[in-house]
Structure 1
């Protein structure tokens, strides 16, 4: 049995059961019996059936609903205490810069914001695959500080002071440490790490002066674990995750400058073309549109924080606290060290300064 046509008008050739995964089940639960509104439906229904408060089903369901509500409120309070109030977001006054936006996730975000009327600048060595209204392309090797300085001045002069920066540029070579050459290692850290420093240094002062801004750092679930053939990529993503942590501390004094860390699992973009997740149920491959939607909702809401998905991306850090023998068992059972064997990646000509 196949899945019904997708909203875009196309039909997937995947069996419908392949669309079932643990994240979908958790999402359904979070919006029903694990949500305060859903939890309170049961005691209200029982009360309407003339159950008395001393009856175990009624007081038990009330206790459950109260615990769910308390947990939900504590999560809301924790976010507010940790990241403060959200900043105002007015699309008519926002200017977006996205690195590595010529294709994949970066292009998708640029397209949507461009169609919504924001002024968008794409910084990439490759020209975007399509032209979109309000999206301006600036050819730039974001790993080269001199090029970033030159292009940043053009962006400010032509579009205005950027208020949203999405550091999305990334490359992945999919080779062992011994097979990686010096040029490939440098390109990984230039694109994945140093580009973040260069763009922040160029655009953050303007955000501070404007008293508003959002900086999005695209890291990865692999920043917590280094599988075979991912040494350079995992190390670079761990570096930008800690860069985000330091940046967040440094801008905490500015009320309306927000930082957002995104740590996704595998996304179905050309970056990791050919890699198949060992378990689609526990580690589903993410669609770019779903990742883009979560990022844009956070930006539009003016909030700071961390986005980690699928579900395993939120818990993978726990592995570091487990005994080494259990860590090795989990690596073996997950198949993470064998997943890169089928890696193809982008076309070699596009694998120098790429994008997610």
Structure 2
């Protein structure tokens, strides 16, 4: 990541940091009960305002936490059991960035990992134990079929599929070539169809599986010079939601949608986040930790980071004039001006 991006996009203080602090203090359903208990220990009576007001606040926080818990259970169902000794994780575009980080973490823990990436230098087991690289253009169905045969023969049936491969062409629409368009759609969305159609039958046969779709907040908030990347990510997001509905007949398969904001990876080299406080730049390790935790716990659902990503869809219920003002105020349409990435780089 460039120095320009680092200096402009990374701030020591962000709304996400404040949110994390609040979650561990004033919004923690356990800690908030210590306040009324402390007042009671000091012989405050129940009718005293400090005691009953703090108890009321604690009750509200606890109720909200319980509602969120039941909402998650009703929406995404019970978790599946994840046995790392019996799982085979497949990651597309795992030769660098977020995908490589997840692969290495699982490999160090003893989980068998297959990485499909057309840019890998050497095939076979990498320096990180239990991580095996396969040179494969995931946008090419025949190539994925060949890779599937090798993975199943050498490693076993894939039970965790992480569709992570992506390319970016950060330039205006009229400057894009036909090859740019074809490459983006093949890698960013056709690859999902190729891997899903080939690896899902094995998960159904095994009676367990997790499908992780790595999308982007740009699918909801597309800036200038993302007229190719953003639509392909929007297609991936829509595909996730449709699949989640279809998989209701297979409750043992969990679907997880990951919609991160800007990460400090080679994919968006030179891009600066429009606002370091409201839209801080993400470190891949933070996103990887959330994804790995969800897979380990056998959860489905959605991971949106940073905080503004969770509310991005609200933008589209605002009046058009207000949306235009917000675009100008946020500076989102200037974010890609320093883009120096390359379409050959897979994330």
Q: What is the TM-score of this pair, normalised by structure 1? A: 0.93
Paired residue for 1:110? 103
Contact 1:86/1:301, CA 8 A, preserved across alignment: yes
Residue among 223, 227, 230 paired with 2:226: 230
Q: For residue 127 of structure 1, report the CA deviation from its aligned partner.
A: 1.1
Structure 1: distance between partners of 2:341 and 2:103: 22
1:53 pairs, out of 46, 54, 74, with 46
Q: Aligned equivalents of 1:114 and 1:19: distance in 2?
A: 32
> How far apart, in 2, do the equivalents of 1:355 and 1:296 lie?
20
- Per the TM alignment, residue 279 of structure 1 is displaced from its structure 2 partner at its CA by 1.2
* Cα distance in 2 between the residues matched to 1:190 and 1:73: 42
Looking at structure 2, the residues matched to 243 and 59 of structure 1 have their Cα atoms a distance apart, in angstroms, of 49
Question: Aligned equivalents of 2:164 and 2:75: distance in 1?
Answer: 25
Which position in structure 2 is the counterpart of 1:200? 196
Q: Structure 2 CA distance, aligned partners of 1:57 and 1:47?
A: 10
Corresponding residue of 1:271: 267
Instruction: Find the partner of 1:76 among 40, 44, 69.
Output: 69
Query: How far is 1:48 from its partner?
Result: 1.2
Q: Which residue does 1:26 correspond to in 2?
A: 19
- Rounded to whole Å, the distance in 1 between the matches of 2:274 and 2:36 is 42
Q: Secondary structure at the match of 2:304?
A: strand
Within 5 Å, give how 1:2-13 maps onto structure 2.
Answer: none
Does the CA contact (< 8 Å) of 1:91 and 1:117 recur in 2?
Answer: yes
List 4+ stretches of structure 1 deviating above 4 A. Answer: none
Contact residue 217 and residue 262 of structure 1 kept, 8 A: yes
Q: Tell me how far apart the structure 2 counterparts of residues 232 and 85 of structure 1 sit (CA, whole Å).
A: 36
Question: C-alpha root-mean-square deviation of aligned residues, in Å?
Answer: 1.5
1:134-213 to structure 2, matched below 5 A, reads: 134-213=130-209
Cα deviation for residue 35 of structure 1 reads 1.2
| Residue segments in structure 1 that go unaligned for 5+ positions in a row | 1-12
Q: Offset at 1:327?
A: 0.4
The yes-or-no answer on 1:315 pairing with 2:311 is yes
What pairs with 1:266-345 in structure 2 (closer than 5 Å)? Answer: 266-345=262-341
- Relative distance call for 1:14 and 1:335 in structure 2 (3 A) is closer
Residues in 2 aligned to 1:217 and 1:168: alpha-carbon distance in whole angstroms: 7
Figure out how many residues of one structure are paired with residues of the other and give that number.
Answer: 338
8 Å Cα contact 2:258/2:304 also seen in 1: yes
Distance across 2 between alignment mates of 1:273 and 1:48: 56
Give the CA deviation at 1:168: 0.3
The residue that corresponds to 1:6 in the other structure is: none
- 1:123 pairs, out of 116, 121, 130, with 116
| TM-score of the pair, normalised by structure 2 | 0.95
* Cα pair 1:167 1:196 within 8 Å, conserved: yes
User: Gaps spanning 5+ residues in structure 2: where?
Assistant: 1-5
Match of residue 97 from structure 1 = 90
Aligned mates of 1:339, 1:200 — CA distance in 2? 33
